[in-house]
Every structure is written in structure tokens, then in C-alpha cells.
């Protein structure tokens, strides 16, 4: 028991809230000073351009995955500024599902960095591969065998057995 306590005391890491054998009194500690990112860098919103003239077109162009239908949530945002300043928690309170929230947030941050939403829409492609009924809907094409795929089913008889008694 004693060795265990010593070992636990010597460890450090995320599972220990404090480094020493006692919990320091939080009233005697200096307050932790933090700065928000917006205090240092102003929040700049990239304006819409001819490729994405408004927030509805932006959400249509980011709608590329069947599990993240971003174009279904056009009515959730009032205007371009509302879409570009909406954070993850606000998206959640508006009732947008998780994968769609991630897709919207990723596309917005990419657009702020200068990458327009021009990825290829994969929904039709997925429907094409879905018809091959692989177990995990992967992009492997395993075609269905036809009903009669053996030679004898198509009327082709077996080759005659050679006569092994002849010299």
C-alpha cells in the first residue's frame, strides 16, 4: 500500500490535478490570465464573391457528403455575416446535427483562409457504388453473377473423355 502511494505521488500527468502531495489553496494562487483570440486579432469576415454570392449558395456548394446535408439548413442562417460568425456551440443550439456542423465549420474556416468550397459532390457517386451491395458500401465493384454462369447451364456439354486404352 505504501509503495503504491509513493508511486502515485511521483507520477505527473493529466490524471493528477496537482503536482505535489497536497492540494494548493486556490485562494492563495495568482489568477490565471487569459486572452481571447479576438482581443489580439480582429475577427475578419471574407466578403462573398461571384463564386459564392450569398450564404445559401455557400451551403449548397458545401453539400458534398450524404451524411452532412448542409443545404438543408439554409433557413437556419439570417445572412452571410450570421453564417461566418456562427461558432460550434451556436450551431448546436440551432439544432444542426454533428457531421453537418463539422462540415459547415470546416468550410467556413477554409473560406476564411482563402479556399472556396469547390470540392466534388460525392452523393451520386456513392449511390452508384451502393448498387453493388458491398457490406461496407466501399468503392469496390463486385458485380452480381448471372443466373447461368457455368458452361453446362448454357448447353455446353462436357468435353469427351479421351480413350486412354489406345496406343
10-residue mean pLDDT series, the chain (167 residues): 58 65 76 83 87 95 94 95 94 97 96 91 86 78 77 78 83
CB neighbours of 85 closer than 8 A, spacing ≥ 6? 43, 45
Q: How many CB atoms lie within 10 A of CB 70?
A: 23
**Cα distance between residue 146 and residue 73, in whole Å:** 44
**Cα distance between residue 138 and residue 119, in whole Å:** 20
CATH tag, 50-142? 1.10.150
pLDDT attached to residue 33: 83
pLDDT attached to residue 134: 77
Domain boundaries, the chain: 50-142
**Cα distance between residue 78 and residue 66, in whole Å:** 24
Amino acid at each position: 500500500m505504501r509503495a503504491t502511494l509513493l508511486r502515485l505521488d511521483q507520477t505527473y500527468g493529466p490524471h493528477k490535478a496537482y503536482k505535489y502531495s497536497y492540494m494548493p489553496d486556490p485562494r492563495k494562487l495568482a489568477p490565471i490570465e487569459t486572452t481571447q483570440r479576438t482581443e489580439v486579432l480582429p475577427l475578419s469576415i471574407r466578403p462573398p464573391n461571384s463564386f459564392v454570392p450569398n450564404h445559401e449558395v455557400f451551403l449548397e456548394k458545401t453539400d458534398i457528403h450524404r451524411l452532412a446535408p448542409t443545404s438543408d439548413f439554409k433557413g437556419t442562417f439570417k445572412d452571410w455575416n450570421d453564417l461566418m460568425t456562427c461558432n460550434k456551440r451556436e450551431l448546436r443550439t440551432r439544432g444542426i446535427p454533428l457531421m453537418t456542423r463539422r462540415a459547415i465549420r470546416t468550410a467556413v474556416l477554409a473560406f476564411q483562409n482563402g479556399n472556396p468550397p469547390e470540392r466534388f459532390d460525392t452523393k451520386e457517386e456513392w449511390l452508384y457504388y451502393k448498387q453493388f451491395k458491398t457490406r461496407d458500401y466501399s468503392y469496390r465493384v463486385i458485380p452480381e453473377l448471372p443466373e447461368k454462369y457455368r458452361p453446362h447451364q448454357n448447353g455446353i456439354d462436357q468435353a469427351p473423355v479421351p480413350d486412354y486404352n489406345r496406343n
